[in-house]
Amino acid sequence: MNTEPHATVAFEDIEAARERLDDESVVKHTPVERSTSLDGMTGGEVYLKMEHLQWTGSFKTRGAYNKIRQCVEDGGCESVVAASAGNHAQGVALAATTLGVESTIVMPKAAPQAKVDATRGYGATVELVGQDFREAMAHAQSLVEEGDAEFVHAYDDPDIVAGQGTLGVEMYEDCPDVETVVVPIGGGGLVSGIATAFAHLSPETRIVGVQADGAATVPDSLDKGGPQTLDSVNTIADGIATGGISQLTYGLIEEHVDEVVTVTDGDIARAVLLLMERAKQVVEGAGAASVAALLSDQLDVTGETVMPLLCGGNLDMTMLQTVLVHALTEREQILRLRVRIDDRPGKMEEVSGIIGSHNANIQTIRHDRSAPELDVGEAYLVFQIETSGAGHARNIIRSIRSQNYEVRHVNA
Ligand SMILES: Cc1ncc(COP(=O)(O)O)c(C=O)c1O
């Protein structure tokens, strides 16, 4: 029987990490803001922890700096290697450059250009290898085997977890009476660190982890008694799309996390938009998952002091567009109407006129004669229009119908 204990993380490790990270130019104490909008929506007292305003736009420098600094102090770490498609890349690059260490970050070929540029901007050499994260990871490991660089894992490392745990201490200091803390989970390093900190400082605080439905491995892992992985993941929240946790993070989650909930991409998209509209904060999908959980029916915080963690702000502009279109379509502020017409000159103008009379802007019109259910001489006009919301949309549909047109609200 293997009796060797698994590596784990204790509060003392987090305290030691705090001392190493005691430099505002490496990691700053990020602000907390009360959100009265979210108070009203959840029935709780909501304090947003704004770690998306951290250097590099996420918490990742905390773990990376804690790890690399120890490697340097332990005697000569000249270079590090990491694999990442996003925030870990930037965190490692900044931490390494600050410590005078060379860094090579392997990113999948399809990594967003903005993240590649940002990682290079923090001083790393970026190698674009592989179609996905796994292929990038395999290449990164081969670089470590070939040379003498130190590998910096994104979550499966006690030094990384202890570094992320410094955020838990900060959250406690910001709001010692906090009753529920909500933390997104990918590989579990972040929640493990935060939960370990709270277990020591305020064991009665409820720690809730959040995963995206399309990348949720923790509920299954807890059910089966060990880390489970997914072959493929599907979520707009790329920061938490790791598809698995490690033995280290499984152990800490099992011990210290009270509850794990999952949210849909729709919940996440709504949260991203709400944070922009109400809190005026640009937060990426993974970073908004905590607020998505509060807005879903998965989590009841009525009457509680609650702190959702906004852990990342690197929202890709293409993703922002996807999120916006999704949310505006859901609110019927972008509306697609399919109108059946006699295919004669003047009909397009007539229907457009009805829409225009409601002051709705027409974005596109498609003319389609090919649907099998149409009679000879008939066509569909598919209008994509901008409205001010569901009430406006209803009035427009009613007006078109009143002129004896068959009209349907379609999504595609
Ligand atoms: C913005 C953001 N939130 C949350 C996480 C999840 O962190 P962990 O993988 O340690 O669970 C990540 C990981 O990359 C992230 O980038």
Q: Which residue's alpha carbon is at the smallest distance from atom 10 of ligand 1? A: 189
Whole-number pLDDT of residue 411: 74
Whole-number pLDDT of residue 112: 82
- CA-based angle 32:17:152, to the nearest 5? 100
Whole-number pLDDT of residue 412: 58
Regions in the chain scoring below 50 on pLDDT:
1-5
Q: Which residue's alpha carbon is at the smallest distance from atom 6 of ligand 1? A: 186
CA of 367 to the centre of ligand 1 (A): 45
Stated as kind and residue range, the H or E segment containing 399 is helix 390-402
Q: Which of the listed residues 311, 314, 316, 319 should we mutate to test ligand 1's pocket, taking the one with most ligand atoms within 8 A of CB?
A: 311
In this structure, the dihedral spanned by the alpha carbons of residues 151, 156, 158 and 161, taken in order and rounded to 10 degrees, is: 110
Nearest Cα neighbor of 377 from 324, 327, 341, 325 is 341
The ligand 1 atom nearest the CA atom of 313: 1
Q: How far apart are CA 174 and CA 9, in angstroms?
A: 23
Whole-number pLDDT of residue 3: 42
The residues near 92 (Cβ < 8 Å, ≥ 6 apart) are: 60, 64, 68, 80, 82, 84, 103, 105, 124, 152
Q: Which of the listed residues 137, 190, 196, 248 should we mutate to test ligand 1's pocket, taking the one with most ligand atoms within 8 A of CB?
A: 190
The residues near 364 (Cβ < 8 Å, ≥ 6 apart) are: 383, 384
Enumerate residues lining ligand 1, CB below 6 A: 58, 86-88, 154-155, 184-191, 239-240, 242, 284, 286-287, 311-312
CA of 286 to the centre of ligand 1 (A): 7
CA of 75 to the centre of ligand 1 (A): 29
Whole-number pLDDT of residue 110: 85
The ligand 1 atom nearest the CA atom of 314: 1
Q: Which residue's alpha carbon is at the smallest distance from atom 12 of ligand 1? A: 239
Q: How far apart are CA 299 and CA 293, in angstroms?
A: 6
Q: Which residue's alpha carbon is at the smallest distance from atom 2 of ligand 1? A: 239
Q: Which of the listed residues 51, 59, 217, 291 should we mutate to test ligand 1's pocket, taking the one with most ligand atoms within 8 A of CB?
A: 59
Whole-number pLDDT of residue 299: 97
Q: Which residue's alpha carbon is at the smallest distance from atom 13 of ligand 1? A: 239
CA of 38 to the centre of ligand 1 (A): 23
The letter for the amino acid at 55 is: W
Answer for the pair 74, 330: CB distance below 8 angstroms, yes or no.
no
Specify the 3-state DSSP secondary structure of 352: helix
Q: Which domains does the chain have, with CATH numbers?
A: 11-58+158-326 (3.40.50.1100), 60-151 (3.40.50.1100), 332-409 (3.30.70.260)
Q: Global pTM?
A: 0.91
CA of 388 to the centre of ligand 1 (A): 35
